[in-house]
Amino acid sequence: MAELVLFNKPFQVLSQFTDQKKDGDRARATLGDYLDVPGIYPAGRLDYDSEGLLLLTSEGALQHRIASPALKMEKTYWVQVEGEITDQALTGLAQGVTLKDGLTRPARVKRIPEPAVWPRVPPVRFRESVPESWIELTITEGRNRQVRRMTAAVGFPTLRLIRYRIGDWTLEGLAPGDFRTVTVNLPSPARKRPRPGARTGRKRS
């Protein structure tokens, strides 16, 4: 069993406990401003200008299960985009978008009403002449700024990005800056299959 911390990361908070800023730069908020739980570290990252669910643990095996791209754990985002998103754009996101670092994996995506979430501080810029819309996007990758690059590639820049779910864990019940701790089963170690013809450790009867 292992302890897993579910944290609702606010906007403009680094996904790390210290800020390696240069001398003279303005100090940025970090996880250390919100979490006083010794020995934990993030399982994956969430950009400074994104909000929502960040998982932290002290167990390396659990961190690997959550963060490893090879294990393809699903992550669901609520995304506010500039403009009324089209069916063509949704199809493009679902099928995969060609970015500078290659084609993204197929995703699940749908239009959603504006979710009942906290107001962002500072607020998203509003332009009366330009409509906005919300989508729910589920991906199995974690490339750098991937969601923002995907929506921009289909012509709808991201205005606000909230990660709602990672695997079986969600933001439900967590206000920005709040966290809760859950107990989870550790992943079982992978067993190596014996090579054909190799001896095993069993004794003959």
One digit per residue, pLDDT tens: the chain, 205 residues? 889 999 999 999 999 999 987 656 778 999 999 999 889 999 999 999 999 999 999 999 999 999 988 888 999 999 999 999 999 999 999 999 999 999 999 999 999 999 999 999 888 887 777 899 999 999 999 899 999 999 999 999 999 999 999 999 999 999 999 999 999 987 665 544 555 554 444 434 3
In a 3-state reduction of DSSP, which class is residue 35?
coil
- H-helix or E-strand spanning residue 80: strand 75-82
Q: What is the pLDDT of residues 140-175, one digit of tens each?
A: 998 999 999 999 999 999 999 999 999 999 999 999
Q: Tell me, what's the pLDDT at 195?
A: 52
- The predicted pLDDT at position 205 comes to 38
The residue with tokens 């990660």 is 163
Q: pLDDT tens digits for 122-136?
A: 888 877 778 999 999
Please report the pLDDT score of residue 69 as a whole number. 83
Which strand (E) or helix (H) includes residue 132?
strand 132-139
Task: Please tell me whether residue 159 adopts helix, strand or coil conformation.
Answer: strand
Per-residue confidence (pLDDT) for residue 196, from 0 to 100: 52
Catalytic residues, which ones?
Answer: 47
Q: How far apart are CA 114 and CA 20, in angstroms?
A: 36
As a whole number of angstroms, the distance between CA 100 and CA 102 comes to 6
Identity of residue 86: T
CB 76 within 8 A of CB 165: yes
- Per-residue model confidence (pLDDT) at position 142: 85
d(C-alpha 108, C-alpha 87), whole Å: 13
